[in-house]
Amino acid sequence: MKKALLLVVSTMLMTISATSAIAHKDTPGIMGEHDMTGTVSQLDHKKGTFALQTKGGPTLNLHFPADQIKDVKNGDTITVHLGFTKEGGTEKK
């Protein structure tokens, strides 16, 4: 029974991960996609904001829904996945 449960949970996690990646890549108009890794500081859980000091680069001031960063702490190293769209929805080439 434990092996079956582990298999089901593993399959669910892989499906969620794959679905998220596919949905993101198929979003029309997304440009400039890249990842940035850095250290969290100036964390405000109520506002959902924090600063991310990137390795060898700028400090990014970021905002997320407050409930999505409840487990993030000052000093954590995280990676953010960035992309943008232009007003009017420029198609991705």
The pTM for the full model equals 0.63
Phi, psi for residue 23 in degrees, rounded to 5: -60, -40
Query: What's the average model confidence in pLDDT over 45-55?
Result: 96
Is the model's pLDDT at 79 over the cut of 50?
A: yes
CA separation for the pair 47, 92 (Å, rounded): 32
Using one digit for the tens of pLDDT, what is the confidence trace for 19-34?
444 445 567 789 999 9
Domain boundaries, the chain: 2-84
Strands 59-63 and 77-84: unpaired
Q: Report the pLDDT value the prediction gives residue 45, as an integer from 0 to 100.
A: 97
- Which range of 1-15, 39-53, 76-90 scores highest in mean pLDDT? It is 39-53
Is the model's pLDDT at 13 over the cut of 50?
A: no
Q: Which two tokens stand for residue 92?
A: 């991705």
Question: Do residues 91 and 28 make contact, with C-beta atoms less than 8 angstroms apart?
Answer: yes
Topology of domain 2-84, CATH: OB fold (Dihydrolipoamide Acetyltransferase, E2P) (2.40.50)
Q: What stretch of H or E contains 3?
A: helix 2-25
